[in-house]
Structure 1
Amino acid sequence: MSPLHHMSATELVGHFATRTLSPVEVVQALLARHEALAKELNAFCFMNRESALLQARASEARWRAGKALSTLDGIPVSIKDNLGTDDMPTRFGSLAVSPERMQLPDSPAVRRLRDAGAVIFGKTTLPDFAHKITTDSPLNGTTRNPWNLAHTPGGSSGGAAAAVAAGLGPLALGTDGGGSIRIPAAFSGIYGFKPSFGRVPHHPRGAFALLSHVGPMARTVEDAASLMNIISRPDPRDWYALPYDPTDYRAALRTPLHHLRVALSPSLGLDRQAAPEIQAALKRSARILESMGAHVELADPPAVLQCLQIHGVLWSAFAARLADSLGDAAHTLDASLKALVEAGRQLPPHCILDALARRGDAGREVNEFFTRYDLVMCPVHPTLPPALGEDLQLNPPYPVYTPWCNQLGLPAASLYAGPADNGLPIGLQLVGRQYDDSTVLKASHAFQQATGHAGVAEHPFSVKTSQPASTQRHRDTA
């Protein structure tokens, strides 16, 4: 039998059904592994040990009685710390959220997971209000990449990605306002899926409300699809939620993909080129899709630059709105978030309405493009995972290859495309037409079946780095 922390959710459930493993054994092993790795990795800002064990015992009883609630009953799932949880604080990675303000009810996705019997065991780290693509904050310190502790796992769902990559649970909930699921998934060698806007109900929507999506992070596409089946169920708290789609995303993975039309876009028509190793991986991946019967041709989707410009306006405008809502506490924000706040405060009054109108024009052009193609294959980010301390907010100022999907609500995924020469993961991005989540998941699964996944990072934890120790003051209930 494989080590427990290497197993997918699908494998674990198979063992639960045959009683060769119990949810209690899995949670106990997870908690012990977290204890061993917490100081170096810093993926969690809160761990609820006592509650996790209680949930696992309840699940064990259901499996013994033949009354499992779902295909994720007893599976440990971590929650990004900008999603509400009844039994754990929610601080959005920020000193600006005081203890008096940090108790939130379960967000819709968390509530659905509890209804399904999943074990909600901990909150993962993020930068201050999920505003950037590295995971460090004045509150929680620095989160490290499990494949090399001297590098970032990306952000803002960096704690979630690092946890899954390090074998600290097979599944995590992340959020994505401009690339915050896909970039850390790429940097950490896991699978990350940003659904269509509104596909997964989301409340409260947080600082970057009109851009934020909730989605699964996992090592296998099959596990992510299982999670989508649960978290995409309706919740009346989200006014933006799409009508319920009863698609069984996991079952759909087994249906064939016919005549898939793929636009290969190495730079999305932008003047920022990806690193040579990423470009080479993209070409290899395109050949794999062709060998599976897809028709692949070079084509850049329109309006990506326009979407980046719109993203810059809306991101800074939302940052200014956030700071105004925090009052005096805004002085505690991360310096890079304060810079966004100031940029937002300088925007002309009409600028935001103009950006929203231009977004509709961009969406029309991209919708027309997707009448000719089923998917776009492109990089997730121009670089490999940077070293800790490298300022990704200045170079580039925003994520480059991901925000257009948030602006237009498109389903998009980050897939592992092999290791770079330095051993760090390379990710590639698959983007689908509006609301066609199933095709992105199916194509992702077919690609992963053909190429494999990165597995669990093990070796770096014996590596000593010259970086300062985390400033996290780890909180624990037991």
Structure 2
Amino acid sequence: MSDPAQKSMGGIPPIADAPALCQLGVAELRSLYRRGELSPVQVTREVLQHVDRVQERFNAFSFTDHERALDMARASEARWRKGSPASPVDGVPTTIKDLLWVAGSVVRYGSLGTDAKPCAEDAPSVARLRAGGAIFVGITTSPELGWKAVTDSNAFGITRNPWAPAMTCGGSSGGAAVAAATGAGVLHLGTDGGGSIRIPASFCGIVGLKPTFGTVPAYPASAFGTVAHIGPMARSVDDAAAMLRAMSGRDLRDWAQGWMHAAPQPLHDGELAKARIGYWTTPPSGALCPEVGAAVEFAVSQLRAAGARVERVDLPGKDLHRMFQAHWFASAAHRLAGISAAEQSGMDAGLRQVASAGARISAPDLVAQQIGRAHFAAAMDRLLTEFDFLVSPAASILPFSAGLEVPQGSGLSRWTEWAGFSYPINLSQQPACVLPCARRPMDAPAHALPIGLQIIGARGADYRVLSIAREIERLGLEQLFAQSHSREVPR
């Protein structure tokens, strides 16, 4: 606590409370394993103990299996001793969101109304991570069926923000974001159908990538269709990139994946200084919180100072909120149609309301929204030939009270109304990376909360997005923001 910059940013980040072994990233672990100075078993034991502490404080996990994780660690240790690791993520502690199949584990989709039997097979992303030697230390929490952008459920309770436990961590990949922020694992597998990776990444101060649709294969197909992406969450851009490389590629079980996906590439420098950036500041629903807007404006000023050419832009589509809700609500109706009324009675009331609204959408209206989506997505593709990247706030608001879908007293009724910077990019399927850029409010440093910056690229340009994200990460935006606003902090 002796660093004034740390004080001005709101105290020590959650990761600082983790044991030293839990703070290491992929490259550090790989180097130590290669030299024989550390073993996957040592790291896994330390991480599992920390997982238990994180679970007690923040409720980030729906399931853990310590012995199975240690079995994976022993197998990894044997490979490293032979000098033949399975991949760059061999021996790296990893978590899986409770929406993706894990062979031999129970996956409940955040719901008591789903099958409690262990999964018979891995989802493709999970299988690729397993084949690469990643060590599964737990299954992270999700709201019921991943339906909303906060993380609480009747099955597993409320997952809390590690910066301020009274506040939401965002969702639906909230447990993954909390695990990342606290050091309960290095790599974290999330899903994003309307902001479910990017919103909790912003609220918890970590890195989250929604890849180009199809980059990471999906099976079984998401109930929420072609707005639903699978991607990495981590504490650094390099770790997120390592995870993306490990789990991306073609899988013939995923018909929607088609031919298009971003081939794994190394990250490179030099994107920022030559970048043409469109700066998007007006969400299609909800209002931008002034504190978030000021923080992102400061971040953009630093991008300009680093050489980027920045121009304000608006998104090309109209009625995007209605368009997204038609897709999301109709999908929710389809998902619940296979669940009995008796089982539905114990499910999240908000989910049932959304599904009921979706069931009332007519077939002609749904088709009209699908056609409108195609026009919008094509216009977005064209916009990203004029600009190398778009940047925006990751979320229009700061974290609010845990256990609520919308901020109390806001007058909002559904999470989609405050998620206007995320769901349009699910409709258009571009890659979008979120990384922390500031913490607010500065007048209450003991409770300062993270704010995220979103970087959007053309479809297939996932590694360009990660490359510029890494350059921006190296600018140290949080520290620069804190230093420039330190006069606001009471002394």
Q: 1:205 touches 1:212 (CA, 8 Å); kept in 2?
A: no
Residues 129-174 of structure 1 show CA distances to partners (whole Å, capped at 9, x for unaligned) of 0000110001011101111111111000000001110110111000
Residues 375-398 of structure 1 show CA distances to partners (whole Å, capped at 9, x for unaligned) of 111111111111113332844541
Q: Which letter does structure 1 place at the counterpart of 2:109?
A: F
Q: 2:431 aligns with which of 401, 411, 417?
A: 411
Q: Which letter does structure 1 place at the counterpart of 2:394?
A: V
Cα separation, 1, equivalents of 2:158 and 2:221 = 25
1:118 corresponds to 2:131: no
Cα separation, 2, equivalents of 1:363 and 1:31 = 43
Q: Which letter does structure 2 place at the counterpart of 1:310?
A: M
Cα separation, 2, equivalents of 1:432 and 1:173 = 21
Pair 1:223–1:25, CA change in 2 (3 A)? same
Pair 1:253–1:326, CA change in 2 (3 A)? farther
Q: 1:323 touches 1:330 (CA, 8 Å); kept in 2?
A: yes
Q: 2:214 touches 2:260 (CA, 8 Å); kept in 1?
A: no
Q: SS of the counterpart of 2:259?
A: coil
Q: 1:427 aligns with which of 452, 466, 488?
A: 452
Q: 2:102 aligns with which of 68, 71, 85?
A: 85
What is the match of residue 183 of structure 1?
199
Cα separation, 2, equivalents of 1:397 and 1:62 = 46
Shift of 1:349: 2.5
What is the match of residue 344 of structure 1?
358
1:307 corresponds to 2:327: no
Cα separation, 2, equivalents of 1:223 and 1:403 = 25
Cα separation, 1, equivalents of 2:201 and 2:210 = 11
Pair 1:255–1:339, CA change in 2 (3 A)? same
TM-score (norm 1): 0.90
What is the match of residue 114 of structure 2?
97
What is the match of residue 329 of structure 2?
316
TM alignment of 1:325-404, pairs within 5 A: 325-328=338-341, 329-392=343-406, 394-398=412-416, 399-404=419-424
Cα separation, 1, equivalents of 2:210 and 2:420 = 16
1:235 corresponds to 2:251: yes
Q: Which letter does structure 2 place at the counterpart of 1:62?
A: R
What is the match of residue 448 of structure 1?
473
TM-score (norm 2): 0.88
Shift of 1:103: 2.3
Residues 76-110 of structure 1 show CA distances to partners (whole Å, capped at 9, x for unaligned) of 1100010000021111001110324x524100000
5+ residue gaps in structure 1? 455-478
Cα separation, 2, equivalents of 1:127 and 1:256 = 37
Cα separation, 2, equivalents of 1:434 and 1:307 = 19
1:46 corresponds to 2:46: no
What is the match of residue 282 of structure 2?
267
Cα separation, 1, equivalents of 2:270 and 2:34 = 25
Identical counterparts, % of pairs:
36
Pair 1:307–1:27, CA change in 2 (3 A)? same
Cα separation, 2, equivalents of 1:178 and 1:324 = 21
Q: Which letter does structure 2 place at the counterpart of 1:201?
A: P
1:214 corresponds to 2:230: yes
Pair 1:50–1:452, CA change in 2 (3 A)? farther
Q: 2:277 touches 2:310 (CA, 8 Å); kept in 1?
A: yes
Shift of 1:246: 7.0
Cα separation, 2, equivalents of 1:246 and 1:417 = 26
Shift of 1:355: 1.0
Q: Which letter does structure 2 place at the counterpart of 1:37?
A: V
Cα separation, 2, equivalents of 1:19 and 1:264 = 47
Residues 227-266 of structure 1 show CA distances to partners (whole Å, capped at 9, x for unaligned) of 11111122111111143757433x2234655621101122
Q: Which letter does structure 2 place at the counterpart of 1:448?
A: E
Cα separation, 1, equivalents of 2:33 and 2:478 = 23
Cα separation, 2, equivalents of 1:397 and 1:73 = 37
1:437 corresponds to 2:451: no
Residues 402-456 of structure 1 show CA distances to partners (whole Å, capped at 9, x for unaligned) of 11111111111111012112411111111112222122111111100111779xx
Q: 1:265 touches 1:298 (CA, 8 Å); kept in 2?
A: yes
Q: 1:94 touches 1:129 (CA, 8 Å); kept in 2?
A: yes
Cα separation, 1, equivalents of 2:116 and 2:201 = 30
Pair 1:271–1:30, CA change in 2 (3 A)? closer
Q: SS of the counterpart of 2:434?
A: strand
Pair 1:91–1:365, CA change in 2 (3 A)? same
What is the match of residue 17 of structure 1?
34
Shift of 1:367: 1.9
Over the residues paired in the alignment, what is the CA RMSD in angstroms?
1.9
Q: 1:308 touches 1:400 (CA, 8 Å); kept in 2?
A: yes
Q: Which letter does structure 1 place at the counterpart of 2:203?
A: F
Q: SS of the counterpart of 1:323?
A: helix
1:62 corresponds to 2:79: yes
Cα separation, 2, equivalents of 1:155 and 1:3 = 28
Cα separation, 1, equivalents of 2:80 and 2:25 = 18
Cα separation, 1, equivalents of 2:107 and 2:245 = 25
TM alignment of 1:23-38, pairs within 5 A: 23-38=40-55
Q: 1:306 touches 1:362 (CA, 8 Å); kept in 2?
A: no
TM alignment of 1:132-281, pairs within 5 A: 132-243=148-259, 247-249=263-265, 251-254=266-269, 256-257=271-272, 259-268=274-283, 270=284, 272-281=286-295
Aligned residues: 450
What is the match of residue 465 of structure 1?
none
Q: 1:289 aligns with which of 303, 314, 331?
A: 303
5+ residue gaps in structure 2? 1-17, 442-446, 480-491
Pair 1:271–1:128, CA change in 2 (3 A)? closer
Q: 1:112 touches 1:233 (CA, 8 Å); kept in 2?
A: no
Q: Which letter does structure 2 place at the counterpart of 1:424?
A: L
Cα separation, 1, equivalents of 2:258 and 2:299 = 32
Cα separation, 1, equivalents of 2:464 and 2:262 = 15
